[in-house]
Amino acid sequence: MFVDKLQIVKNNIYKYYLIHILLTLFLLLFITLLTHTVIHIIMKALIQRVKYANVKVNTKLVGSIDNGLLVFLGIMNDDTEDDIKWLADKISKLRIFNDENGKMNLSLLDLSYDLLIVSQFTLFASTKKGNRPSFIQAAKPDIAIPLYDKSIAYFKSLGIRVEQGLFGGDMKVELLNDGPVTISIDTKNKE
């Protein structure tokens, strides 16, 4: 009888250790997944067809275009660098300029028009709580600046003349929206 009770205690100790080991492994797996989560980047663009646009920082003109597109570009933690190419190709080929019949049938590339890119973290404003927007979803400068610069470089590689604002600067943007035509695109909802 004593041997049977000893065997039951022994089996319970084994079960306890087995449960403890399984919980420890689960916790290690969870921590590993949590610390190795990939940060993706989502880019959002608010595109305006303009007759002219310019951007100033401290009253100094830093970028100016005539006919073309003004793109407010926001970058958030949630996609990949391949989306830079997708977004730039999409914007440069958008047929939102009028042809000879007044139909929106021509692109920035078709007309060799210019592009003004302005960084715009406020595109990721969250207004779910209270009346003060939260910008927590916007990428931090160490992530956003390299992608912003690569976006500009990619547009230039397409043969587009690109002007730009000053990333993180207190910018004053002046424009004459043509149409008006304003389109929002993001890399999460590719269409």
Q: What is the pLDDT of residues 149-158, one digit of tens each?
A: 999 999 999 9
Residue 19 — pLDDT band, cuts 50, 70, 90?
low
**Domain boundaries, given as residue ranges, for the chain:** 1-37, 41-186
Q: What is the pLDDT of residues 102-118, one digit of tens each?
A: 999 999 999 999 999 99
In this prediction the pTM is 0.75
Superfamily assignment of 41-186 in CATH? D-tyrosyl-tRNA(Tyr) deacylase (3.50.80.10)
Residue 126 — pLDDT band, cuts 50, 70, 90?
confident
SS3 (DSSP) at 135: coil
pLDDT of 36: 42
Write down the catalytic residue from 24, 80, 122, 182: 122
Residue 134 — pLDDT band, cuts 50, 70, 90?
confident
Establish whether 122 is a catalytic residue.
yes
SS3 (DSSP) at 129: coil
Rounded average pLDDT over 160-173: 94
